[in-house]
Amino acid sequence: MRTPTEVRAVGVPSRVFVYEVGPRDGLQNEQAIVPVEVKAELIERLCAAGLPLVEATSFVHPRWVPQLADAEELLGRLEHVDRMPVLVPNERGLERALAAGVRHIAVFGSATETFAQRNLNRSWDEQFAMFEPVMTRALAEGLTVRAYVSMCFGDPWEGDVAIDRVVDTGRRLLDLGAYQLSVGDTIGVGTPGHVTALLDAFNAAGIHDDLLAMHFHDTYGQALANAYAALRHGVTTLDASAGGLGGCPYAESATGNLATEDLVWMLHGLGVETGVDLVALVETSRWLAGHLGRPSPSRVVNALAP
C-alpha cells in the first residue's frame, strides 16, 4: 500500500489525537439497520487499528434514532467498555450508560435556537438546564464528560451563526464541567478563515485550544482544509469518522463527516504522529462498505483500493 511522503510541516502539532466517531455519528444516519455483530466488529477493528478513543453508540431514545436502539446489546459484546465514550442525551440516558459500565460520556448541545428545538425539544437557553443534572451526576460518579456544540458555522434554518453565540454556548458547557468541547460544523459550510476567526474568539474568551476539538463535515469539500487551519492554530484533537460515513438525522443538509483515512493520510504526510495504522484502517472501511453495500466516500480508501 502506498503511503504519503512525509514532509514535516512547521507550525503544526507533533502529535494529534484522532477521536473516532464512526460507530455512533457515522452509522446513526444509515437507513438500513446494521446488525449488532457488525457494529461490534467495527469497533474492535478500529481499536485494533490504533484509534485512541472510539465513540461506540448513543443512549438516545430508539424512536428518534432506530439505528442505535441496540446500545446495551452492543456494549455487552465489547471488551473495555469503560474506555469507550457514548452519547448521553438526558438523565435516563445516563442511567442506562452507568448500568452498562460506561465511564466516558458526551452531551450534544446546539449553538442555535432552531436546532436546539428540533434536536432537543428545548430552547437554546433551556438546553443547559437539561444538561446540568446529567453532567453533575456523571462527574459525581467519576465519569468524564465531553460536550459537542452543533451548528457552529451555519444553520440550515437560521443561516449564519454569530461567533459570539458559539463561544457563549461553549463556555456554558465547559462551565458545567465538560473536559473538552467539540466544535461542530454540522452542515459543512465552514472555511479555513472562519475556523481561524472562531478559534481566535474562543482564545480571547479565555478558552484555549487544548480544551477544544474540531468536528468537520465535508458537504462543500472543506473538511481537510478546515482541519489544517485548526492544526495551524494549535488544536490537537480532531473528530473523524471511518470511511467518511455520517451526517445528522435532524439536519438533512449535513452530509458525511471528515473521513478518518483522509485525515490520517494528511497528518502522516505532515509528519504528525497519530498512532493509527492506516493500512488496518483502510481495510476496516473496505470491509464495512461491503456490509453497507456501497463504496466508501473516503478518497483515501478509494485511492488505495486494489
Task: Tell me the CA distances in angstroms from 60 to 90, 161, 204, 253, 293, one per residue in order.
Answer: 8, 26, 34, 21, 26
Of 248, 272, 276, 282, catalytic: 248
Catalytic residue flag (residue 248):
yes
Catalytic residues, which ones?
248
